[in-house]
Structure 1
């Protein structure tokens, strides 16, 4: 059975420039430079690469490059990262608010292989049947091969887990002509492991000679989908002034983060922004790279089944390009807002990280074609937000490459950024109040009236003023203020709410998340 380990960025994705024409829009996928995409007539940039930890936006090349692209009317869609795991919070690396950060979720079609165990000394004993998520590139034609356990045929590459498969750790003399049974294939590919390990130890070894045959691959419907992949990086987003103070302790089994405590005005953007399909996706593959990511492997394929936020990212970029072809005059933030406010809702009970795992929800290409209202944000708004977070004019100039200065007068709050989602960090067990001023632009019907619908937890109060927005023309703007308050949240607590503007045809939804400073370390 071929179990592929997922890396970030994925192997086979080359840092070369690729332009994909779709209708009247172009997608550009390349590593550098990001500063002059308009010269190529590019509408959307898709970036499936990044660092393992979030960087301060004033020193992050992807944040800076995508900011220049935004200035030129180009939206950058970026992978959220593959270091999430169920125990890790604040692992999202795509933190700049002008980027569209994409998480990964499972598809509703599972590709499986059935494994038949044989080799029993007692021929009357029934064979044991297993199945697991996998795609093999070979046919066994009914042949059975001996099973060996990973810990018996590997070196000491992983002293913490000798049964864990790692490239270069297998002893070729011990595995030739055999199937290797591994405890795991790495934390990034948990969705690709067997549902139940092949537990040959359940029967005394003197009663069998363990063998196995892999049957033809097949597909099954997964009614639980979509669910955020375990490896998909999660929020909260960490954007602070100065150098990011994050310390990571990495062990083979888990990741743990310790964080400084920040004020509520330092962290205000919910990311990842959105999730899209990113598990077991059939995709084009570089013919010069090994599909197993093993240097000695000389196989070459044009297509492969891949997983990761590197794969979910281009799904969103494709829909963004489609929207750009329908609305070529829309700003990058309008396209981003459309994708976020028209998502398919996700089930928080199936996704423990809730909005910190899937953002505004799951990508809905059909619903996104007609959003009704959009939240627009431009360069001046991002400058004001940066200054309110503590960045000075010197850092702004380095990031923007011009003579920009922080505006004079009150600095305001990052919560004033006209973002489609609303997030606030509060101090545990203390009363809180947060206000989010927002402005929406009418792109639906010329004469329309929208009413506010609020869904909230009993632990918080959410109000909107005004609750009714009436428009008389297209591109007309209306402002409102969302106020969130509460008597105090327990340590390590996160509470979700939502705001939906509806005119009877359109539903413009925005997630709202309130969490405590201790949420990081829970």
Structure 2
């Protein structure tokens, strides 16, 4: 992905055709091979080629790289109040000029969250378009495009920007939906549904379908979005394959070009937690978002015939009116003679206790079962997010499942009922949810990932009426709202926060906006997270403080190139990302500690002493005459020195540098040790986490019971969690 040619009159597309023609020969037309020309914001193309033809292209003069097309996968009424952005604070006066671009499954344009009453025309900077096939834009959704390099549509998919999955409508309304009082999900979680930037504009780039999200489509969407004039990009998806270098990741490459053009990309951390080194979207120029809980959880109690009440977690909208039904264990209804088929007669008219979420759950759901009680024996004592089912259902803890089994085995006619769902206050929120992917970064140990945590659990927001609210095809419900969990839901919370900051500071760089969000974050409770910063990064988003951070850690394209060089990239591999004439001197190899990043990460080889030196530069964006003093917190194992420890500023925009030295004894198999450095002038508190560790990515690692409940991989569809 290179820069566009600067010569006037040169057609990028014609150059791509010429290159293809030279490889394909006169018997074939380049038009039949060419899928996309990336010619609006950077230079490149996608084409259908054999391996031999791709090899020929790669050897051509001026070709930086050729990579195969791979697939990425997709990774509110209460969440914004919980994050401190109340109705009175949402909607800065300049917010209507901010355009949030979303790479997702499209959007449902008639959804009430996108009503444009009271909106003026799009900002003058907008250069995009609306593909109007089965779709209509307005002054809220000002642009919409769709991409499908495969040209294949499955089921009820529609060749337009219209959302048939629900995911894109959910993320779009979370980021910038208008205020809708009296919203609920079938009576649950009633309140005012709204986005964090409710007056911002939305531009939709549909790159994901039921089959996934193709690299070629993702890159074309970045190409268009940059040229269209978006301000913030929200990307709730990530690679579902191992990536060892940034140039292998289409999102990293596309977002680098966005950064180069002044656009911050916010993206999801992934749903592969709590495994270590599972975080995706590791690029340091993007904002990587983990998912955390809010102070609301969905409860559906199981009442046994003996009067025991077992608390379950589920989004249950079905009311059995307290009527008891026969209760059986699902294992008793399995016919092992016929490949473990379910005995339909045994489950009909009953509530079934299933020990795991498996293919049998689908069989049970479609055979006249009254209700289902689920338990995962690898879950935590208390499940930390809720599923949605097409019939009365709840998810109970392993201990409560044992009580239910004891009751079934000791009672001649066991019975139970599942109570209609309700919402309870979660006193321990925010807490990073079990499924949220953890650090450290598998690409750059010198960069702490994820960057930030945001609400991503049980989030109520918009939905496509063509998609059922649960995973199950048997679910016939249809509506405009749904409650969903995932880092996909956390990402648009951070995207809206970035839009909120951008509206207040339109001239700030992507790095400055990212820094403001990270250094102003709420501190998370370390006693509830064994993974510490590898779970939550700098902490939980704090939108109102992010607009006035005091100091920011800024960074430019040149800083990232220098980072690449120090991380071991050479001139050739750097150009795979930048696409220009960037180069690395042979003497620059080293650690990436000097990238002006708003956090500190020190990876130590096993058995080596702790030692590291970081250089940082802060820019004063607060009052002109201000003095900041540094304090730091770190366990006694590690010694920290900050020089100088006092920074005096006389002007806005003035820059000052400081050095952080970290030393300690030799460590072996040391899990994360963390603390923070805080700069304060008495009214601003600029906090940067500092972590030291040396267990390697992929090493054997066992979380304690509070962090060990992981969603089984076979219950993840397109990266969605819980829906």
Select 2:376's aligned residue among 167, 184, 200: 184
Tell me how far apart the structure 1 counterparts of residues 669 and 323 of structure 2 sit (CA, whole Å): 57
In structure 2, the CA distance between the partners of 1:174 and 1:54, relative to structure 1 (3 Å rule), is closer
Q: Which residue of 1 is the match for residue 452 of structure 2?
A: 274
1:377 deviates by 1.1
TM-score, normalised relative to structure 2? 0.62
Secondary structure at the residue paired with 2:617?
Answer: strand
1:197 aligns with 2:381: no
1:115 deviates by 2.3
Tell me how far apart the structure 1 counterparts of residues 480 and 331 of structure 2 sit (CA, whole Å): 33
Q: How does 1:100-249 map to 2 (within 5 A)?
A: 100-118=287-305, 126-153=306-333, 156=340, 163-167=355-359, 170-172=362-364, 175-184=367-376, 191-192=385-386, 193-195=395-397, 196-198=399-401, 199-203=403-407, 205=409, 207-239=411-443
Q: Contact between 2:611 and 2:664, CA under 8 Å: does it hold in 1? A: yes
Q: Which residue of 2 is the match for residue 3 of structure 1?
A: none
In structure 2, the CA distance between the partners of 1:387 and 1:63, relative to structure 1 (3 Å rule), is same
**Count of residue pairs brought into register by the alignment:** 479
1:65 aligns with 2:254: yes
Secondary structure at the residue paired with 1:94?
Answer: coil
Q: Which residue of 1 is the match for residue 223 of structure 2?
A: 35
Tell me how far apart the structure 1 counterparts of residues 429 and 287 of structure 2 sit (CA, whole Å): 23
**Cα-to-partner distance string for 1:180-207 (whole Å, 9 max, x where unaligned):** 2333299797533324534322236352
Q: Which residue of 2 is the match for residue 248 of structure 1?
A: none
1:315 deviates by 0.8
Q: Which residue of 2 is the match for residue 245 of structure 1?
A: none
1:521 aligns with 2:700: yes
Q: For structure 1, which runs of at least 5 residues remain unmatched after alignment?
A: 1-6, 119-125, 240-265
Q: Mean Cα displacement is larger for which, 8-17 or 430-439?
A: 8-17
Q: Mean Cα displacement is larger for which, 28-37 or 15-24?
A: 15-24
Q: Mean Cα displacement is larger for which, 32-41 or 405-414?
A: 405-414
1:179 deviates by 2.1
Tell me how far apart the structure 1 counterparts of residues 649 and 597 of structure 2 sit (CA, whole Å): 21
In structure 2, the CA distance between the partners of 1:324 and 1:174, relative to structure 1 (3 Å rule), is closer
Tell me how far apart the structure 1 counterparts of residues 201 and 408 of structure 2 sit (CA, whole Å): 61
Q: Contact between 1:447 and 1:473, CA under 8 Å: does it hold in 2? A: yes
Q: Mean Cα displacement is larger for which, 372-381 or 162-171?
A: 162-171
Q: Contact between 1:233 and 1:357, CA under 8 Å: does it hold in 2? A: yes
In structure 2, the CA distance between the partners of 1:365 and 1:150, relative to structure 1 (3 Å rule), is farther
From the CA coordinates, give the structure whose radius of gyration is larger.
2
Tell me how far apart the structure 2 counterparts of residues 338 and 423 of structure 1 sit (CA, whole Å): 19
In structure 2, the CA distance between the partners of 1:24 and 1:471, relative to structure 1 (3 Å rule), is farther
Tell me how far apart the structure 1 counterparts of residues 480 and 689 of structure 2 sit (CA, whole Å): 40
Tell me how far apart the structure 1 counterparts of residues 358 and 462 of structure 2 sit (CA, whole Å): 25
Secondary structure at the residue paired with 2:237?
Answer: coil
Select 1:377's aligned residue among 545, 550, 555: 555
Select 2:637's aligned residue among 459, 466, 470: 459
Tell me how far apart the structure 2 counterparts of residues 191 and 295 of structure 1 sit (CA, whole Å): 22
TM-score, normalised relative to structure 1? 0.85
Richer in helix (by share): 2
Tell me how far apart the structure 1 counterparts of residues 341 and 599 of structure 2 sit (CA, whole Å): 44
Q: Which residue of 1 is the match for residue 7 of structure 2?
A: none
Tell me how far apart the structure 1 counterparts of residues 422 and 255 of structure 2 sit (CA, whole Å): 41
In structure 2, the CA distance between the partners of 1:38 and 1:206, relative to structure 1 (3 Å rule), is closer
Q: Contact between 2:234 and 2:266, CA under 8 Å: does it hold in 1? A: yes
**Cα-to-partner distance string for 1:65-109 (whole Å, 9 max, x where unaligned):** 111111111111111011112xx2111012111110000111112
1:112 deviates by 1.2
Tell me how far apart the structure 2 counterparts of residues 128 and 340 of structure 1 sit (CA, whole Å): 46
1:78 aligns with 2:267: yes
1:44 aligns with 2:232: yes
In structure 2, the CA distance between the partners of 1:39 and 1:461, relative to structure 1 (3 Å rule), is same
Q: Contact between 2:366 and 2:474, CA under 8 Å: does it hold in 1? A: no
Q: Mean Cα displacement is larger for which, 11-20 or 299-308?
A: 11-20
1:286 deviates by 1.9
**Cα-to-partner distance string for 1:106-147 (whole Å, 9 max, x where unaligned):** 1112221222222xxxxxxx4111221211122222322332
Q: Mean Cα displacement is larger for which, 195-204 or 63-72?
A: 195-204
Tell me how far apart the structure 1 counterparts of residues 496 and 590 of structure 2 sit (CA, whole Å): 36
Q: For structure 2, which runs of at least 5 residues remain unmatched after alignment?
A: 1-72, 76-104, 106-164, 178-196, 208-217, 343-353, 387-394, 702-723
